Copies of this chain bind each other. A is one copy, B any other.
Protein backbone atom coordinates (compact mmCIF):
# COMPACT_ATOMS: atom_id res chain seq x y z
CA UNK A 1 0.00 0.00 0.00
CA UNK A 2 2.70 2.55 0.89
CA UNK A 3 4.52 1.64 -2.31
CA UNK A 4 1.33 2.27 -4.23
CA UNK A 5 1.06 5.74 -2.74
CA UNK A 6 4.74 6.51 -3.30
CA UNK A 7 5.36 6.86 0.42
CA UNK A 8 8.38 5.47 2.21
CA UNK A 9 7.64 2.66 4.62
CA UNK A 10 8.53 4.89 7.59
CA UNK A 11 6.17 7.58 6.40
CA UNK A 12 3.38 5.11 5.74
CA UNK A 13 3.76 3.47 9.15
CA UNK A 14 3.82 6.88 10.81
CA UNK A 15 0.60 7.85 9.04
CA UNK A 16 -1.03 4.61 10.08
CA UNK A 17 0.08 5.06 13.66
CA UNK A 18 -0.45 8.80 14.03
CA UNK A 19 -3.05 9.57 11.39
CA UNK A 20 -6.78 9.85 11.93
CA UNK A 21 -7.90 7.77 8.91
CA UNK A 22 -11.01 9.91 8.60
CA UNK A 23 -12.53 11.08 5.37
CA UNK A 24 -12.80 14.68 6.54
CA UNK A 25 -10.66 17.49 5.12
CA UNK A 26 -9.74 18.79 8.59
CA UNK A 27 -8.48 15.37 9.63
CA UNK A 28 -6.70 14.87 6.32
CA UNK A 29 -4.83 18.14 6.77
CA UNK A 30 -3.86 17.13 10.29
CA UNK A 31 -2.64 13.80 8.93
CA UNK A 32 -0.10 15.87 6.98
CA UNK A 33 0.81 18.65 9.42
CA UNK A 34 -0.66 17.58 12.77
CA UNK A 35 2.34 15.87 14.31
CA UNK A 36 4.29 17.74 16.95
CA UNK A 37 6.71 20.33 15.49
CA UNK A 38 5.41 20.12 11.92
CA UNK A 39 3.47 23.38 12.00
CA UNK A 40 6.37 25.16 13.71
CA UNK A 41 8.74 23.95 10.99
CA UNK A 42 6.33 25.37 8.42
CA UNK A 43 6.02 28.59 10.44
CA UNK A 44 9.80 29.07 10.36
CA UNK A 45 10.05 28.34 6.64
CA UNK A 46 7.15 30.72 5.95
CA UNK A 47 8.69 33.48 8.05
CA UNK A 48 12.36 33.08 7.25
CA UNK A 49 12.52 31.51 3.80
CA UNK A 50 14.81 28.57 2.93
CA UNK A 51 16.52 27.08 5.98
CA UNK A 52 19.14 24.45 6.56
CA UNK A 53 18.68 21.61 9.03
CA UNK A 54 20.89 23.34 11.57
CA UNK A 55 18.99 26.63 11.22
CA UNK A 56 15.69 24.83 11.81
CA UNK A 57 17.07 22.94 14.78
CA UNK A 58 18.38 26.13 16.37
CA UNK A 59 15.25 28.14 15.60
CA UNK A 60 12.89 25.53 17.03
CA UNK A 61 14.92 25.20 20.22
CA UNK A 62 14.06 21.94 21.87
CA UNK A 63 13.33 19.60 18.99
CA UNK A 64 15.36 16.38 19.00
CA UNK A 65 17.43 16.01 15.81
CA UNK A 66 15.88 12.65 14.94
CA UNK A 67 12.40 14.09 15.42
CA UNK A 68 13.22 17.05 13.19
CA UNK A 69 14.67 14.68 10.63
CA UNK A 70 11.53 12.52 10.66
CA UNK A 71 9.20 15.54 10.34
CA UNK A 72 11.17 16.97 7.41
CA UNK A 73 11.05 13.62 5.68
CA UNK A 74 7.28 13.33 6.12
CA UNK A 75 6.64 16.92 5.02
CA UNK A 76 8.84 16.38 2.00
CA UNK A 77 7.13 13.12 1.07
CA UNK A 78 3.79 14.89 1.37
CA UNK A 79 4.98 17.57 -1.04
CA UNK A 80 4.70 20.39 1.47
CA UNK A 81 8.40 21.20 1.57
CA UNK A 82 11.25 20.57 -0.82
CA UNK A 83 14.91 19.83 -0.13
CA UNK A 84 17.06 21.96 -2.39
CA UNK A 85 20.71 21.29 -3.09
CA UNK A 86 22.61 24.53 -2.54
CA UNK A 87 26.10 23.09 -2.64
CA UNK A 88 27.21 20.07 -4.64
CA UNK A 89 30.52 19.03 -3.01
CA UNK A 90 29.88 18.03 -0.33
CA UNK A 91 26.11 17.87 -0.84
CA UNK A 92 24.26 20.48 1.22
CA UNK A 93 20.52 20.89 1.33
CA UNK A 94 18.17 23.59 2.44
CA UNK A 95 14.42 23.28 2.95
CA UNK A 96 11.86 25.45 1.28
CA UNK A 97 8.06 25.52 1.12
CA UNK A 98 6.46 24.25 -2.09
CA UNK A 99 3.30 25.88 -3.49
CA UNK A 100 1.35 23.30 -1.52
CA UNK A 101 3.25 24.34 1.61
CA UNK A 102 2.78 28.06 0.95
CA UNK A 103 -0.95 27.34 0.76
CA UNK A 104 -0.81 26.50 4.48
CA UNK A 105 -0.16 30.14 5.39
CA UNK A 106 -3.84 30.76 6.22
CA UNK A 107 -3.59 27.97 8.81
CA UNK A 108 -0.51 29.60 10.36
CA UNK A 109 -2.18 33.01 10.28
CA UNK A 110 -5.32 31.71 12.00
CA UNK A 111 -3.21 30.03 14.71
CA UNK A 112 -1.23 33.24 15.17
CA UNK A 113 -4.31 35.46 15.35
CA UNK A 114 -5.90 33.29 18.01
CA UNK A 115 -2.69 33.01 20.02
CA UNK A 116 -2.20 36.76 20.02
CA UNK A 117 -5.66 37.33 21.32
CA UNK A 118 -6.33 34.39 23.59
CA UNK A 119 -3.10 32.67 24.65
CA UNK A 120 -0.88 34.76 26.81
CA UNK A 121 2.87 34.02 27.03
CA UNK A 122 2.65 32.41 30.48
CA UNK A 123 0.69 29.54 28.93
CA UNK A 124 4.04 28.33 27.68
CA UNK A 125 5.77 28.85 31.01
CA UNK A 126 7.15 32.23 29.94
CA UNK A 127 6.44 35.26 32.10
CA UNK A 128 4.50 35.34 35.31
CA UNK A 129 1.01 36.67 34.58
CA UNK A 130 -1.88 34.27 34.90
CA UNK A 131 -4.18 34.30 31.87
CA UNK A 132 -7.82 34.63 32.71
CA UNK A 133 -8.68 31.28 31.19
CA UNK A 134 -6.21 29.53 33.47
CA UNK A 135 -7.98 30.71 36.60
CA UNK A 136 -10.88 28.42 35.86
CA UNK A 137 -10.67 25.05 37.43
CA UNK A 138 -12.60 22.40 35.60
CA UNK A 139 -14.74 19.90 37.45
CA UNK A 140 -12.57 16.83 37.73
CA UNK A 141 -13.31 13.90 35.50
CA UNK A 142 -17.02 14.50 35.28
CA UNK A 143 -17.00 13.05 31.81
CA UNK A 144 -16.28 9.74 33.49
CA UNK A 145 -19.57 10.02 35.37
CA UNK A 146 -21.53 10.60 32.21
CA UNK A 147 -19.83 7.64 30.56
CA UNK A 148 -20.35 5.13 33.28
CA UNK A 149 -24.10 5.69 33.40
CA UNK A 150 -26.56 5.41 30.53
CA UNK A 151 -26.84 8.84 28.95
CA UNK A 152 -29.91 8.58 26.78
Contacts and interface: CB of A to CB of B under 8 A. Distances in A.
A65 B134 CA distance: 24
A104 B73 CA distance: 29
Given A61-B22, A130-B6, A29 B114 contact: yes
Main secondary structure of the interface of A (DSSP, over half): helix
A114 B109 CA distance: 13
A68 B84 CA distance: 40
Interface string A1-31: 1001111100000011011111111111111
A136 interface: yes
Interface string A100-117: 100110111111111111
Nearest to A22: B124
A136 to B, nearest CB: 6
A79 interface: yes
A23 B124 contact: yes
A77 B139 CA distance: 9
B83 A143 contact: yes
Contact of A77 (B104, B114, B134, B143): B134
Interface of A: 1, 4-8, 15-16, 18-32, 34, 36, 39-40, 43, 52-54, 57, 61-62, 65, 68-69, 72-73, 76-80, 83, 90-93, 95, 100, 103-104, 106-127, 130-147, 149, 151
